[in-house]
A and B are shown apart, each in its own frame.
Chain A
Amino acid sequence: MHESNLILEQKHNDHAHMEKKELLTEIEMRAIDHEISMVPYKKAAVIEALKIVQKQRRWISDESIDAIANYLEMSAAEVDSVATFYNLIFRKPVGKHVILLCDSISCYVMGYGKIYEALQKQLNIQFGQTTKDNLFTLLPNVCLGCCDHAPAMMIDEDLYEDVKEEQLDRILELYK
């Protein structure tokens, strides 16, 4: 399992047990059908299906795995083995916004460590954790491909380059 999944803290443990068996929604099924039409056999659409469901529900629960497996005529174990391979498929709950902080080499040299420390202080969480108010999840990420503007991070789909500690307040405010 990729590290980001390993270290994502299990938060809603009890909650998950109480949930009823989930089905795919109409929107999800239509989107998955479109993906199936693009590939030679259903199974080949599983990554797209995971992306589609995660987009609607923010993360992939065991129930979502079952629902996708059912729909694509695969075993749940098979769907899960794919889901846990990729670090941007979340198998545990994440907050409303996901912060991906680059921890690769150029950002290391340019001091991502300081940014990490500042984020830990401001949000009171470490890599893999979610804030109490469920607003932010903080994850490390490999090189974001803007090493000439290190340190770099993404919040959801937004890229931040040349990040400085004193800007963090203002940046985080945009997502509150």
Chain B
Amino acid sequence: MEQPLTKNIITGNTLSLKDYEQAGGYAALRKVLKDNSPQQVQQIVKDSGLKGRGGAGFSTGIKWSFVPMDENARHPKYLICNADEMEPGTFKDRLLLEGNPHQLLEGMILAAYAIKADISYVFLRWAYRKAAEIMEKSISDAYAAGYVGKNVLGSGWNLEMYLHTGVGRYICGEETALLNALEGKRATPRAKPPFPQVSGLYGKPTIVNNVETLSCLPHIINNGADWFRSLSVSEDSGTKLYGVSGKVKRPGVWELPLGTTMREIIEEYAGGMTNGYSLKGVLPGGASTDFLTEQHLDIKMDYTSVAAAGSRLGTGTIVVMDDKTCPVGFVHNLQHFFAQESCGWCTPCREGLPWVERILSGLEKGNGSPEDMELLQMHTQYLGPGNTYCALAPGAMEPLQSALKYFREDFVRHIEEYKCPYEG
């Protein structure tokens, strides 16, 4: 089994520039600067079938293709790495940032070349202090070695690169909110269109890609699109960093072929449930994905299969809910998070999420009524896709609507017994 993104990562260690070069690092950059036009790089990535690993799963090559490439295109163009990782239950980008920083930087430089960008940023969340230190050093090492800066490796192309550390708020990870944060504004998302590819940072053409997406690029260039396609065990290409947290024996993160089944990930890699606990439900890809249950364990963890089962692959990091955790309390915790992190721009999200949170708080304590169930159901419609400027509110409704479906019994017991049945 090939694990291109993580094979050189030793837990707790950081691959230095020298180690990375010895393992074949920056060969992909040398190769494209010599042999390929930016358009050719775009084509290779499109052919590879790479899909964004930040949650939405959009084709990376197609996303890039909307960037104006003719000589009238406005400059500077920007390439931004989204390293804001704040989706509850998600801890995969941290491994790549801390373990193999130059793999990410090379990926960024390749992406920047593909869209002929002039300036690139790593947008990193504040809490990743170790990653901040590592990225700071790695960027300066890359400058010193001539991989970024003026006249990259003698090619005549200039690329500047900066690290930007955020100051909190989950919404900064939404790509247009991220642009506002970088411009020193409140991080509210932007209305689309225009899309960032045309009018992004400071109104200039901009691409935002996730850490894991970018880290795939050197390997695609080195080994080709067909090789990347062959890595997976499903229609989608490549490997994926899958994680598991909750009451399992060995929580962690592993790079596996895209399409590995949920059962294999939870039972083999995470070692199965902790003794005394059984699996009641899972969020397959972070806090904003629909619950799946035991009956879904054999589905393949790829974009198409998880969607067919009624959820989303999201970030690919599984949160396990065990049989001793109250589903109402679990969903209350999620909705508290979303209500708190709403940027406040759209009325349904700003007003609806706190309402949902209050209802769940009452329900959890045994103060709920059957009408509360209807109200919750109604919100899953009102806050669903199409009613808001960004995907935060619709994402918040995913675990709620599926909890109402799969764990209705638990909600009803809270109402009928006037207390939480999970408490003593």
Contact = CB atoms under 8 A, between A and B. Distances in A.
B90 A145 contact: yes
A59 B90 CA distance: 29
A2 B168 contact: yes
B251 A148 contact: yes
A45 B184 contact: yes
Interface of A: 2-3, 38-40, 43-48, 50-51, 81-82, 85-89, 100, 103-106, 108-110, 141-150, 154, 157-159
A105 B169 contact: no
Contact of B184 (A39, A104, A147, A157): A39
A142 B243 contact: no
Contacts, number: 127
Contacts of A144: 127
B127 A147 contact: no
The 10 closest A-B pairs by CB, nearest first: A148-B251, A104-B88, A147-B245, A88-B168, A87-B168, A106-B245, A86-B167, A143-B88, A44-B184, A85-B186
Interface residues of B, number: 53
Given A89-B167, A142-B341, A149-B251, 13 more contacts: A44-B184, A47-B167, A50-B167, A51-B165, A51-B167, A87-B168, A89-B168, A103-B333, A105-B283, A105-B330, A109-B247, A148-B244, A154-B127
A146 B11 CA distance: 13
A69 to B, nearest CB: 13
Contact of A47 (B128, B181, B247, B336): B181
Interface in B358-379: none
B317 interface: yes
Contacts of B89: 104-106, 143, 147
Given A88-B126, A106-B88, A147-B245, A142 B337 contact: yes
A104 B251 contact: no
B380 to A, nearest CB: 19
A54 to B, nearest CB: 9
Contacts of A104: 88-89, 287, 333, 337
B356 to A, nearest CB: 16
Contact of A106 (B169, B246, B252): B246
Interface in B308-364: 317, 319-322, 325, 329-330, 333-334, 336-337, 340-341
B322 A47 contact: no
Contact of A147 (B165, B169, B317, B333): B317
A89 B172 CA distance: 14
Contacts of A147: 88-91, 243, 245, 251, 317, 319
